[in-house]
Chain A
Amino acid sequence: MAALGVEVYVANEDGETNTAVNVPESVLRRDQARLEEAERRRNVKEKQAVKEEKSDFFTSTFNAEKTAVEEMLSSSNYSDRDKAAKTLEEVTVRIQHLQKFLNDSIMFLTQYEIRQAQASMQKLQSSLAEKREAVLPKKKFAFRSRNAGASKQPEPSQQTTDKSASGVGGTVAVDVNQCGFSNAENEVLIKQAEEIQQRDVLLSHLTNCKVRLYGCPSTLHIKNVRSCEILCGPVSSSVFVDQCTGSTLVLSCQQLRTHNTTATQIYVHVTSRAIIEDCLGVRFAPFTWTYPGIQDHYKVAGLDPDRNNWRDVDDFNWLAAGTPSPNWTVIPETERICSWDSVGSPS
């Protein structure tokens, strides 16, 4: 019955289903008006469609533009290098537009017309390439040596503060502004919310340190860390853990990506899933840290405090369904740490 009702309504489409039988004149009038309106719209549409979708229109527009570009290529004065560069730039853009015009028109063109137009496009492209080669020969690359410098960056020459890190050579912009702590031993390291908010934070080459990050980075990298205790507020995207040994990590994030890590406990709040790869003896438990303002930080990071999939760990080295991975376990409830040393405090 319901379906039938819908059909009737659709058939009348003027919304007067119930009164249609009683007032036929108004329906007739409405129908007349509707037909006239439809006729009017069709006329308008036909007028527009004809103009843009006729192959005559395409051919004349295409050829006019093609000729214009050819003239630019052949007649321009190319003695001034800057001017030549500008002209070539413009030619490139116009060729791109012409290609787009052709692509948009393909639906209503014949195969022959398409082939002709493509041939013209190729000719334009090759004469542009020739011209470019002739007037603006390719320069040698200047930044190859700088690249070599960049590749040295991740080595232990990392500095411990933002300022000194930015002073490392005149290399390509990499690592300028790297926020975090590197190369420290037996230290207490603290960062406040405003220093790390929406930043990529790096913790690397740390031994026996206590780290507290009272805020929400965009991404957190933990690399080459031994016997450390690292606590961090809500991270809006991923936490990367690589080459970590004998440590305790307390993390909240959207994704956790753990690599080459052994004998480490991870207390995690993860809203999607955690993965491990090339790991051994990693143990998981739910996130148990809190500090004043952490609820606001969940909001800033865009993480749902009520969604925690800490138990859903994918082991990239263990794809057998049904059999649990031997590389990770859950920390028994009796062994879990519920309160953490208050080191520093959020400002």
Chain B
Amino acid sequence: MTDHPIIQADRQNGLDNAGKTTILKKFNGEDVSTISPTLGFNIVTLEHRGFKLNIWDVGGQKSLRSYWRNYFESTDGLVWVVDSADRLRLEDCRKELSTLLLEERLAGATLLVFANKQDLPGSLSKDAIREVLALDDIKTHHWCIVGCSAVTGENLLTGVDWLLDDIAARIFTAD
């Protein structure tokens, strides 16, 4: 019998308006209709499947991105949220992600990419996002892309479960 493991920290990152806070609130069963742009950070602790998750929801604004790196110590998992309808900034999104993955302090962290806003008619499929973000080039991290909708809650569990499985496998191996 083992103690309930603590997933030390999941970081939710992505550009502004990607839906990071909405995903977090929806997952926690809270109202998502009154969310304001995130000023700074939301830090939330959740229990899921016997795991304790410390989640940092980091604001996507430009002036905050340079501070992201200060909070990466002991990160087990990284959730990168993409606004699949925001074609205009996908290139921006790709650059930010690839810069982030160079972070030494994120080495070994599992990467979950949420292709959010799949409920919108103009959104790109998760395969298109995978291609634009060049995810297949990523060799340094375990990664997985999941199409989801934070508003309807579709596939949020699927993504988080994959993330937990991958992290759990790694942590228990290390033990």
Contacts and interface: CB of A to CB of B under 8 A. Distances in A.
Q: Mostly helix, strand, loop or mixed at chain A's interface?
A: mixed
A279 B147 CA distance: 35
Contact of B85 (A115, A172, A200): A200
A219 B86 contact: yes
Contacts of A147: 94, 132, 134
B155 interface: no
B36 interface: yes
Nearest to B85: A200
Given A108-B1, A151-B91, A273-B36, A257 B17 contact: yes
Contacts of A153: 91
A96 B166 CA distance: 9
Nearest to B170: A118
Given A175-B88, A178-B87, A255 B36 contact: yes
A31 B33 CA distance: 49
* 8 cross-chain pairs, A with B, having the tightest CB-CB distances, nearest first: A273-B36, A272-B36, A275-B37, A238-B17, A200-B85, A173-B128, A174-B87, A118-B173
B63 A316 contact: yes
Contacts of B120: 198, 200, 218
Contact of A121 (B61, B86, B117, B169): B169
A273 B39 CA distance: 11
Given A150-B132, A200-B86, A277-B62, A174 B91 contact: yes
A155 B131 CA distance: 21
Contacts of B62: 259, 277-278
B169 A103 contact: yes
A201 to B, nearest CB: 9
A174 B33 contact: no
Contacts of A257: 16-17, 37, 61
Interface string A194-218: 0000111010000000000000001
A240 B92 CA distance: 15
Interface in B131-175: 131-132, 134, 136-137, 165, 168-169, 172-173, 175
